Chain A
Amino acid sequence: MLLTQKTGQEEMTDLLTTKNLNVSFKSRGETIHAVKNLSFSLRGDEVLGIVGESGSGKSQTVLSIMGLLEANGAASGSAVFAKKELIGLPTNELNKVRGNEIAMIFQDPMSSLNPYISIGKQMSGVLKRHTKMTNKEIKERCIEMLHSVGISKPEERFDGYSFELSGGMRQRVMIASALLTNPKLLIADEPTTALDVTVQEKILDLILDVKERFKMSVIMITHDLGVVARTCDKVLVMKSGELQESGDTEAIFYSPKADYTKELLEKSKEINLDDQQKYTETQDANIKNSLVKATKARVSFLLPKKTLFASENVLTAVNDISMETLDGEVLGIVGESGSGKSTLAKTILGLQKLTSGQVEVFGERLAAINKKELKEIRKKMQVVFQDPFSSLNPRMTVFEILKEPLDSFFPSMTKESAQKDIEDGLMEVGLTPEYLGRYPHELSGGQCQRVAIARALMPKPQLLICDEAVSALDASIRGEIIELLLRIKSEKKLTMIFIAHDLAVVRKICDRVIVMQSGKVVEQGPTEKVFFEPEKEYTANLLSAVPVPDPKIEKQKYIKRTET
């Protein structure tokens, strides 16, 4: 079989049509309907987006078409691709289609490639299976494809392994593998969710680029409306397995008909980065003192030596950083993975030793104080971490978790006043005293995070550090927790350091912001100024890389990117 032939007439015909597609699962005796009576069609040259929150059934739809459902899943209905009915097709017939005419890339590039086999072997396997090319031809085509997805030194990468590559590069390799047989349809299941924002931009552009070059259709599955606005021609909106609305992208975004679509758009627009607000200087009369002050702070780690004779490898996570946090403000620290923001947070908290430089908290140099003094300072400075489940001890009840800071900072407190403080603390984060006897695994992610916040507030701190406190939460819960944090901040006049990689959230709640990259401060200043008049190119790139749920704006950004 030769590579898939394309006639150029693809645009005219429907490539994929589903009718009453149903997917259900048997789990613990119950049947769960993941996809209910879904019907849609896809032409030969368009990008179709399937958007929805978790549980909407968007992934299950394409998995059922590809025959990749779990053992306890079943699909019924019809999905016709290039005149072939795929639902119910026997596996050996299906194997002629998938990987050949339909290719798929997945969410987690880190684990989607086999680390035990060379990349070349994996890619060759696809061509060996679907074509009659010779080994030499196969190798040439693979290397050519690696090159065309932007991988440098493709010959070396061909013989190399997946663990030598970063997440973004692995996703490129996945895309290259998908393109080898010149497929008619590329299915991308949340392809960039696990990647940094700037990497995401490049990968999405790559997908659009190969779509044009190879004349394919693309199904893009995502929960991010910005990604939809950036890449899709048509959109399906799904909720709980049911189709809520479908249509052209501009129609969906600018004149949504279904209530759910409107709701989704509302939520995403709350934190819209591209409002054309003008930045105005505001003068603050009071001179505020700094609660946290870092001067040329450096944190370096020695990496384990690979062999006895190799030279030592040093990782500098925080590279001579100077910054400060003023009393009463909300300071945002943004950066992509590897920027050092979390390490900086741990240093401020006294959980990580400095290699050089100095950090002052509440006027005291962290390196110079003893344990007792550190404890006094810790009373004024608390933290909320990212993972709601691992930040609570699974063997302690909510009551015990909240009591611990009281025991440690106010040992002479009576049982009654402690009980009262704990109950008050719970109410403040929106939970009721009935939660006191529960264990963390009985709570949801959002509830756990509320308990974590309550715990942080127990010693009545002045400074609250939130290290990616909302990043691990579902989108709908995220908003609630952010509201909670803002309310607490104003009620208790807290100073906050808010660390995140999500620029939209930072913009919503921070007064000032620091942008970090590779351990260094790239830019800092009032939020509005940094976001609208960024001085450094990195900041500007970072900001524009965030996809915005507005197709027209995204189109302009795209034109700008591709003309340079």
Chain B
Amino acid sequence: MSNFRFVIGRFLGAIPTLLILICLAFLLVKSAPGGPFDFERSLPEEVEANLRAAYNLDDPVYLQLFKYIGDLLQGDFGPSFQYRDYTVTELIATGFPVSLRLGTAAIFLALIFGSIIGSVAALNQNSKLDYSVMFFGMIGISIPNFVMAPLLVLFFSIGLKALPAGGYNGGDFYHMVLPVVSLALPQMAYIARLTRGSMIEVLSSNFVRTAKAQGLPTRSILLKHVLKPTLLPVVSYLGPATAAIITGSVVVEQIFGLPGLGRYFVQGALNRDYTLVMGVVVFYGCLIILFNLIVDTLYGFIDPRIKQNR
């Protein structure tokens, strides 16, 4: 029963964040000069009519806000400003599956490889292997993915001609390799450093010393005593990591010409498609908040010290 209360509590805590996000986005659009609510520019009649209907522009502001939230809850993001024939919802529905594929693969790659590399470095602390891992880790963090991606393309596509330079092609392996890797690399590097630092700290803790004194073999100590405390900070980091991958996907999709949500977002930004842009921000924002919620809750179930307080 207290488990349930815990989850509800966390859930309730996330709602203010969601509300602020939506309000902020809404207010931004309302106040933007040259935006859809600035009728200095003359708009095509249909769009203006659509907008007036969708946003009830004759009502007081807070009512407009409620309507907007109400629409959101029904999955209605309003009409696209630029692509006249489509609603934002439809555009999101088209682009999201691509981004989802890209992002999920990147997160898994970053998480798995990052933690393995970091662990190996920690177990061989101060060796050549360790230093090279740290060095490459630093490079990985420093080089932005919009620099890494073109360099990878330069090398693998133009140089080696082994992989395609762009295009989605239904998301097959060859077309996804470079995008996923360039998206994952900075996070992989960060997670590797994080894991390494965490494991080094755990390895030097007193309870590991106790385990050694009890005659437990190294493998046992690693699996039973070291693994969990090492990975807890990594689990914590999953939230920000996802946010970073979502942000990074904007650029990666642009570079590789993948028809994902990020690409729509950038096009929308450049074309001043306000509703689309706002819709994507709210959508992604909710996604991030939801994901943080899940990770947070998961963490509460894994760390026994928090478990106690449930």
Interface residues of A (CB under 8 A from B): 66-68, 91-92, 94-100, 103-104, 106, 108, 111-118, 121, 125-126, 129-130, 161, 163-164, 174, 177, 306-309
Contacts and interface: CB of A to CB of B under 8 A. Distances in A.
A96 B210 contact: no
Given A111-B207, A116-B304, A308-B9, A121 B216 contact: no
B207 A104 contact: no
A129 B6 CA distance: 37
Contacts of B215: 94-100, 126, 129-130
A126 B211 CA distance: 9
Interface stretch (B102-110, B181-189, B223-231): B223-231
A161 B308 CA distance: 9
A307 B217 CA distance: 40
Contacts of A92: 217
A200 to B, nearest CB: 19
A121 B220 CA distance: 12
B309 A306 contact: yes
Given A99-B214, A111-B207, 13 more contacts: A66-B213, A68-B213, A106-B210, A108-B206, A112-B209, A114-B225, A115-B207, A115-B304, A126-B214, A129-B220, A161-B304, A174-B210, A307-B309
B303 interface: yes
A260 B22 CA distance: 76
Contacts of A129: 214-217, 220
A95 B218 CA distance: 10
B10 to A, nearest CB: 11
Main secondary structure of the interface of B (DSSP, over half): helix
A108 B205 CA distance: 11
How many B residues are at the interface, by size bracket? 20 to 34
Nearest to B227: A116
Specify which of A92, A106, A115, A116 lies most central, judged by the most chain B CB atoms within 10 Å of its CB: A116
A307 B304 contact: no
Nearest to A118: B304
Contacts of B211: 114, 125
B310 interface: yes
B216 A309 contact: no
Contact of B305 (A68, A94, A115): A115
A228 B37 CA distance: 85
A164 B224 contact: no
B206 A164 contact: no
Interface of B: 5-6, 9, 205-207, 209-218, 220, 224-225, 228-229, 232, 303-305, 308-310
A125 B213 contact: no
Given A96-B215, A306-B309, A113 B228 contact: no
A174 B214 CA distance: 11
A9 B218 CA distance: 35
B207 A98 contact: no
B308 A117 contact: no
Contact of B216 (A104, A113, A117, A125): A125
A536 B207 CA distance: 40
Given A307-B9, A307-B310, A177 B214 contact: yes
A400 to B, nearest CB: 35
**Taking each of A112, A161, A309, which has the highest tally of chain B beta carbons within 10 Å of its own beta carbon?**
A112
A489 B165 CA distance: 84
A96 B216 CA distance: 9
Contact of B228 (A66, A94, A117, A126): A117
B217 A125 contact: no
A112 B216 contact: no
A113 B210 contact: yes
B5 A309 contact: yes
A117 B305 contact: no
B310 A68 contact: no
A306 B5 CA distance: 13
Contacts of A113: 207, 210
A112 B217 contact: no
Given A113-B207, A117-B224, A104 B213 contact: yes
A99 B216 contact: yes
A111 B205 CA distance: 8
A126 B309 CA distance: 29
A112 B213 CA distance: 11
A164 B218 CA distance: 28
A292 B211 CA distance: 51
A112 B9 contact: no
20 contacts: A67-B212, A68-B213, A97-B215, A98-B212, A98-B215, A100-B215, A103-B214, A106-B206, A112-B210, A114-B207, A114-B229, A115-B305, A116-B303, A117-B228, A129-B216, A164-B308, A306-B309, A307-B5, A307-B309, A309-B5
A401 B210 CA distance: 43
Contacts of A116: 228-229, 232, 303-304
A98 B216 CA distance: 9
